[in-house]
Structures are given as C-alpha cells and as structure tokens.
Chain A
Amino acid sequence: MNRILRKEVLTSSIKLFEIETPLIAAKVLPGQFVVTIAADKGERIPLTVADANKGKGTITIIFQEVGKSTKLLGTLREGDEIPVVVGPLGKPSEIELFGTVVCIGGGVGIAPIYPIMKGLKSIGNKVISIIGAREKGLLILEQEIREQTDELYVTTDDGSYGRKGFVSDELKRLIGEGRKIDRVIAIGPSVMMKAVVEVTMPCNIKTIVSLNPIMVDGTGMCGACRVEVGGETRFACVDGPEFDGHLVNFELLSKRLSIYLKEEKEACQKEAVSCK
C-alpha cells in the first residue's frame, strides 16, 4: 500500500510522487488533500492531491521541501511505501460552469491548481492560467498546464523566464484590458493569495483561495487549522481548504503559520539539514 510508483525531481526543492492508493484515487476530487507521515516518528503532513488516475489507482502529490518532515519525505524512493497516506480530506473545489475563469498558481501552489483547472476546462469553462515562481528553475508543470488551458501567462519574480513580476500583476493587466472574468481561483503562498485578492476586490470578481494553515489530524478534531473567514473561525481541514478570498483574514493566517518557526529550526539543526 502507498507504494511510490514514480518519483520526479521537478526542481531542486520540489518533488513529485505518483503513489499507488486505489481507494483514495477512486474518490478524490480536485481541491482535496491527503495527510502523509513519512517515517515512524514523523509529523502528519497535509499535501494537496495534484492529480489522480482512477484506472491505474494512483494519486500524484507534489511537495516542496521546506522543513525536516518534507525533506524526510523527499528521501523516499521509487518502490518505497509511504507509512501513512490518509484521505481524501477537505471539501472538493466547486467545479461548475462559470464562464471565464482565471486560475492562478504560485510556486508549489501550481500543483493543486492543475486538477482544478483541468476540471473547470473539462466542463466547458474558458480557462486562463497564470503561473509564477521566484525564478525559472522553480517553475513547475508549465507544459502540463499549457496543454489544457486556453491561455497561459508565466511570471518570475526575477524576470529569468516569462514576464518579470508577480502573478497578481498579470491578473491586473488582464482586468485592465477589460477582459471579462467571472471567477478567479488562486493558490500559493499567503502573500500571493492576498495580493490577488487585493486586485479582485475592487472589481468584485469572486475569488477562491486554498488555505494552507498548520494541521495535525486533518479531520476536524484538533482546531490547529483555525482560520478566520468573514469574521468567523473555521477549520480549514473540514470547512475548506477553499474559501472566499475576499473574506479571509490573511494576516492571522501568516501569523499562525509562524507558530513553530523556532522548533522547526531546532529540528533541522538536530538533523543537520539546511532548512529555509
């Protein structure tokens, strides 16, 4: 169970696993995630499902090595079994006919946007995709997305590929050109999602974001994943992870994401691995 059938190193810090999990593959929908444990004494790590193949019984996860636990996960090889993969968790994305949808992925957030984009396209939406990364070497899934989407715009912070700037700048440009946009879906670092929301708020374009707070169980049992949406506390693992971006308290999200920075450093020092 949970055997890694394919491992790809997408960038220096981003890896892809295609995992044999027929039960999850049969049920998972775009927008949902799984929780994994990479080793015996490991943490529970939530990861969005980037693709699923019902016929083959596999799901694909793409993750960035940011701390000790994700690094540990990254050391697993093809043929290895991941000790725990549980899911599908969270609510699926709303895949409906909206008209023109802009799908925005930043960094490793490009991975979860991919199945949503595919889903929206498959039922007849016009899909414009904007993907971005800090630099060319960190950009993932460009080819896969290009094959599906109606239009694709790429940005890098340093201008090493595509247009120099942020994904939100590209969105602003499209809106400025008077393009009719019915909905925006943005997934990425919380600063990026916040920037996108700031662009769409004044023009009242419904914007969905997928939140990535710290989680433990991922089943609604602990409340670690508390986020504030429209002034109310919600549990991202069961009430989300997708929420109306215009209502999300991003400042709280960023603050809560910093709770264990000190401990994370300690864990990395012990392992003598370099963590960002």
Chain B
Amino acid sequence: MAKPSLKKTIMREQPHSERIHNFNEVPYGYSDEEAIAEANRCLQCKKPKCVEGCPVEIDIPGFIKEIAANNFTNSIRSMKSKNALPAICGRVCPQEVQCEELCTLKKMGEPVAIGRLERFVADWEAKTGKIEMPEISPATGKKVAVVGAGPAGLTVAADLALMGHKVTVFEALHEAGGVLVYGIPEFRLPKSIVRREVEYVQKLGVKLITSYIVGKLQTVDELLKEFGAIFIGTGAGLPWFMNIEGENYNGVYSANEYLTRSNLMKAYLFPEYDTPIVKGKNVATIGGGNVAMDCARTALRLGAAKSMLIYRRSKTEMPARIEEIEHAEAEGVEFYLLTLPIKYHADAQSWVREIECLKMALGESDASGRRKPVPIEGSNFRIPVDVAVVAIGNSPNPLIAATTPDLKVGKHGNIEIDAKPQERLLLYWRWAEEGLLLGQ
C-alpha cells in the first residue's frame, strides 16, 4: 500500500456567500471515489485506538475496510450492528475529541475522516432506497420504557430492541429527536435525516409515543408497574440565563427558544409555517459553544446584516468544535472576544437596543484549567442590537427528579447513579443517563 496522504480527503461544501442565504446543508458529503480514497488512508491497525474513543464501539477499521473494497453494503451492515444513527452521528458527533483524536494517523498528520466516512455509508444506503434490517434476537418478553427521544434515548431503544426487548419511547415534544430536531439547525443536520433514522429505530420494533410527558401523564414509578426497566434520557433542556438587568426585554431569547422556533417550529419558513421569530438586523449571541455557533449562523440565514458573537474568554477557550468556529467565521460572524455582557438597554417599548459590556483580561488558570477571565474596570462599552440570544448552557429539566422521590439528584440536577455506563446496560433496572453521546 502506498504511504497514506497526511491530509483528509476534502469534503466539498456550499460556498459561504451562497449558504448564508439558505438553510440547506453546508457540506455535500463524499462521492463514492472520495470515500474510497479516504478509506484507503486507514492503516487497519491491529489494535485500533479509534474504537476506544467511540462511545458505541463501532468496528471502525472494519467498516472502513469495506468502503475501501467498494463493498458499501457490508460496510453499513457492520456499522448498524453498533450504531442505529450513523447519518446523524457522522454529522454531529465531536469526532475530533473521540475516535479521530486517538487515530494512529493523527501522530503524523490528519486522522482518518471517520465521521465523514460514517456519514457516507449511511447516506449511500439511504440513496439506494433499500434499508437493510439487522438480525434481531429472539423476544425476551421484557418490557423497557425509554423517556426522551433524543440521541441517547433512541440509541438505547435501538440497542435494546436488537437484544429482543420490547421498547416504548415516550417523548414530550411532538417530534422525536430531542436536540437533533429542536436545537441543531437544518444546515448542519437536515431534519429529513433525523426522521429517516428515527423511522429506522421504529422499524426495529420500537414503539414511539410523542406528546407524552413523563412525570405529568405518568410518573416514573407508575411506568415501573408496566415496564421492567426505565431509561431516562431527558437531556439537559433547562436554559440558563445570566441574571443581568434587562434580560427579559423583548428581543432577548434563550438559545433554546431561538433554535426551537427556527428548527422545530420552522419559523424560518414563516408565514408558511405559523410560528414567528424576531428576525433582527443586528443580532448578538452570547456564548462560545456549538449552540452559540448554531445561533449566530441561524441569525445570518434569517437575514441579519450583522451577526455577532460575544464570549467572555478568548478563542482558544471556546468549547465549540473547531469546525463550527471556522464555519461561523467563514460566514462572517463577528467575534467579540474577552467581552462580558453586564446589562441590556431597551427603548420605550421595551425592545432591546444595546448590550452593555465590559472588556476582560485573562488571569490565572481556574479549576477547568482554562485561564480565568477578569473584568477590566471602567472598560464599559455598548453594542447596538435588536436581537440577543443567550447561549451560555443548560441544565437538566427538574421534572423527572421532582416526581420520582427515590431518584438521587446531584448538585446540577443530574441523576446520580451507582454504576458505570456499560454495567448499567446489564443492570436492567433503573438507569440514568444524561447524554449518551457526549455533550459539549
């Protein structure tokens, strides 16, 4: 075999001048030839490090080998024996800190583009129109309830169905997908792809009930009368605000509301769809994670003349994936780094007009190992805005914990469990998980 190229095969994408005017997906995905070329970069390591970085332990060299051999059917079969959501994961998993981080090739150059190849085989199968069903173990007669149809719930549901259990997923919203449908925008993860993979999970025999709020309609304890086990995958859906003056003025959104209106409710297609959204001219997003990047890029597509991102630390400390930061920059999002919002100013009708900020300097390292930002006194300045989006994080919704007396809850509203994730799947009792696919 020739020495592999040190660079990933490039994935073509929509030019930025065009894409900021539409919600279509930005990268086009690999062609067959590109995928085979990229698959041939893989060294087929005897002890593949990449697999250790994968939360669902996909046989990475295995599925890549089949792509290299132009045997896409075998490739997707191998993939789906471990992961029911490959088109989704290939697009939004943070591969750079999981499988690709550990790839042997990374020591010499760029790792194998595992995510892009994962996405490729999944899309290839969908294009053929023939979705192969995996072998399902004989029925065990056991019933499991899954609360929440986000990536965690769907993954667990699919795995359990393959094991022969009877699974019912309860979802509070009217569509399954969790953050995949309400949070992550169309241009990064088309909703038709989420629907496709949700349908696949249903075809495995999983029953999906939407518009069903566990904790209100039935409590966890009530469900336990009917189900042998419950998996709680309710995500981290409670948005944080900064608790600064003026945060409730008109035009100040939480990232969840801004994205839910635009994605789940399709406000970007208003008035064809009924849910409205305030389309600002000068939009500022506060935060530095994937969610903030999604908001800033959504603002551009909704027609903002200026989309700004305000972050209190510097670029190196941003928790967002590098790829997302680069996309945002390429599209023209203006970064206000080392900047801390302290107050909103509004007009007489209570519409937000300016964000007052302080400049920050980087001080000593804090507990997270990142240098702590400290405000520079007297450095106040104002940024004119007509929409502000607060994207500084979320914590778990307290509903399940509040209605399940014997669930142990930690400081951040997270459910505490006594076993490690792998053991939990064997425990077959009450598991708690707050994002099987790692969060941000």
Q: In the complex, what residues of B have CB within 8 A of residue A181's CB?
A: none
Which of B122-130, B156-164, B272-280, B364-372 forms part of the interface with chain A? Answer: B272-280
Q: Does B335 have its Cβ within 8 Å of any Cβ on chain A?
A: no
Q: Does B408 have its Cβ within 8 Å of any Cβ on chain A?
A: no
Contact of A221 among B174, B238, B349 (CB under 8 A): B238
User: What is the minimal beta-carbon distance from B109 to any residue of chain A, in angstroms?
Assistant: 42
Q: Does A84 have its Cβ within 8 Å of any Cβ on chain B?
A: yes
**What 9 A-B pairs are tightest by C-beta distance, nearest first?**
A263-B276, A222-B257, A86-B211, A255-B350, A223-B254, A43-B274, A221-B237, A41-B273, A260-B276
Q: Are B399 and A219 in contact (CB under 8 A)?
A: yes
Q: In the complex, what residues of A have CB within 8 A of residue B397's CB?
A: 219-221
Q: Does A270 have its Cβ within 8 Å of any Cβ on chain B?
A: yes
Interface size on A, residues (CB 8 A): 41
Contact of B272 among A41, A89, A220, A226 (CB under 8 A): A41
Distance, CA A84 to CA B212, complexed state (A): 10
Interface centre among B257, B265, B277 (most CB of A within 10 A): B257
Q: Mark B237-259, 1 if CB is under 8 A from A, else 0.
A: 11101010001101101101100
Q: Does B16 have its Cβ within 8 Å of any Cβ on chain A?
A: no
Q: Mark A55-99, 1 if CB is under 8 A from B, else 0.
A: 000000000000011001000000000011111110000000000
In the complex where A260-B276, A267-B270 touch, is A86 in contact with B243 (Cβ < 8 A)?
A: no
Q: Does B353 have its Cβ within 8 Å of any Cβ on chain A?
A: no
Q: In the complex, what residues of B have CB within 8 A of residue A263's CB?
A: 270-271, 276-277
Q: Are A86 and B250 in contact (CB under 8 A)?
A: no
Distance, CA A86 to CA B265, complexed state (A): 16
Q: Are B257 and A43 in contact (CB under 8 A)?
A: no
User: What is the minimal beta-carbon distance from B392 to any residue of chain A, in angstroms?
Assistant: 12
User: What is the minimal beta-carbon distance from A251 to any residue of chain B, in angstroms?
Assistant: 8
Q: Are B172 and A86 in contact (CB under 8 A)?
A: yes
Would you list 21 pairs from A and B whose C-beta atoms are within 8 A, ordered by A residue? A41-B266, A41-B273, A41-B274, A43-B265, A44-B174, A83-B174, A84-B211, A85-B211, A86-B212, A217-B260, A220-B398, A221-B182, A221-B256, A222-B260, A226-B248, A228-B248, A238-B399, A252-B248, A263-B276, A267-B270, A267-B271
Q: In the complex, what residues of B have CB within 8 A of residue A24's CB?
A: 217
User: What is the minimal beta-carbon distance from A65 to any residue of chain B, in angstroms?
Assistant: 14
Q: Does B261 have its Cβ within 8 Å of any Cβ on chain A?
A: yes
**Known pairs A42-B274, A219-B397, A219-B399. 5 more at Cβ < 8 A?**
A23-B217, A41-B274, A43-B274, A219-B172, A256-B350
User: What is the minimal beta-carbon distance from A236 to any residue of chain B, in angstroms?
Assistant: 12
Q: Does B213 have its Cβ within 8 Å of any Cβ on chain A?
A: yes
User: What is the minimal beta-carbon distance from B350 to any residue of chain A, in angstroms?
Assistant: 4
Q: In the complex, what residues of B have CB within 8 A of residue A252's CB?
A: 248, 350
Distance, CA A255 to CA B271, complexed state (A): 23
Distance, CA A86 to CA B399, complexed state (A): 15
Distance, CA A24 to CA B237, complexed state (A): 23
Q: Mark A21-46, 1 if CB is under 8 A from B, else 0.
A: 00110010000000001000111100
In residues 225-273 of chain A, which contact B (Cβ within 8 Å)? 226, 228, 233, 238, 252, 255-256, 258-260, 263-264, 266-267, 270
In residues 311-362 of chain B, which contact A (Cβ within 8 Å)? 349-350
User: What is the minimal beta-carbon distance from B306 to any residue of chain A, in angstroms?
Assistant: 21
User: What is the minimal beta-carbon distance from A257 to any residue of chain B, in angstroms?
Assistant: 10
Q: Are B247 and A233 in contact (CB under 8 A)?
A: yes
Q: Are A43 and B275 in contact (CB under 8 A)?
A: yes
Q: In the complex, what residues of B have CB within 8 A of residue A259's CB?
A: 250-251, 278
Q: In the complex, what residues of A have CB within 8 A of residue B272's CB?
A: 41
Q: In the complex, what residues of A have CB within 8 A of residue B174's CB?
A: 37, 44, 83-84, 86
Contact of A216 among B248, B265, B271 (CB under 8 A): B265
Q: Are B216 and A222 in contact (CB under 8 A)?
A: no
Distance, CA A69 to CA B350, complexed state (A): 25
Distance, CA A87 to CA B213, complexed state (A): 7
Distance, CA A10 to CA B54, complexed state (A): 60
Residue on A nearest B349 in the bound complex, by CB:
A255
User: What is the minimal beta-carbon distance from A74 to any residue of chain B, in angstroms?
Assistant: 14
In the complex where A27-B216, A89-B213, A224-B257 touch, is A267 in contact with B241 (Cβ < 8 A)?
A: no
**DSSP majority for the A interface?**
mixed
Q: In the complex, what residues of A have CB within 8 A of residue B241's CB?
A: 223, 233
Q: Are B239 and A222 in contact (CB under 8 A)?
A: yes
Distance, CA A88 to CA B271, complexed state (A): 29
User: What is the minimal beta-carbon distance from A79 to any residue of chain B, in angstroms?
Assistant: 20
Q: In the complex, what residues of B have CB within 8 A of residue A69's CB?
A: 274
Q: In the complex, what residues of B have CB within 8 A of residue A255's CB?
A: 250, 349-350
Q: In the complex, what residues of A have CB within 8 A of residue B399's CB?
A: 219-220, 238
Distance, CA A220 to CA B241, complexed state (A): 13
Q: Does B374 have its Cβ within 8 Å of any Cβ on chain A?
A: no
Residue on A nearest B270 in the bound complex, by CB:
A263
User: What is the minimal beta-carbon distance from A30 to any residue of chain B, in angstroms?
Assistant: 15
Distance, CA A12 to CA B221, complexed state (A): 45
Q: Does B173 have its Cβ within 8 Å of any Cβ on chain A?
A: yes
In the complex where A220-B399, A221-B256 touch, is A86 in contact with B271 (Cβ < 8 A)?
A: no
Q: In the complex, what residues of B have CB within 8 A of residue A84's CB?
A: 174, 211
Residue on B nearest A41 in the bound complex, by CB:
B273
Q: Are A221 and B239 in contact (CB under 8 A)?
A: yes
User: What is the minimal beta-carbon distance from A69 to any residue of chain B, in angstroms?
Assistant: 5
Distance, CA A252 to CA B246, complexed state (A): 11
Q: Are B274 and A89 in contact (CB under 8 A)?
A: no
Distance, CA A256 to CA B173, complexed state (A): 24
Q: Mark B186-217, 1 if CB is under 8 A from A, else 0.
A: 00000000000000000000000001110011
Q: In the complex, what residues of A have CB within 8 A of residue B247's CB?
A: 233
Q: Are A87 and B257 in contact (CB under 8 A)?
A: no
Distance, CA A270 to CA B398, complexed state (A): 40
Distance, CA A44 to CA B266, complexed state (A): 12
Distance, CA A107 to CA B241, complexed state (A): 34
Distance, CA A91 to CA B218, complexed state (A): 15
User: What is the minimal beta-carbon distance from A191 to any residue of chain B, in angstroms?
Assistant: 16
Residue on A nearest B222 in the bound complex, by CB:
A27
Distance, CA A255 to CA B213, complexed state (A): 30
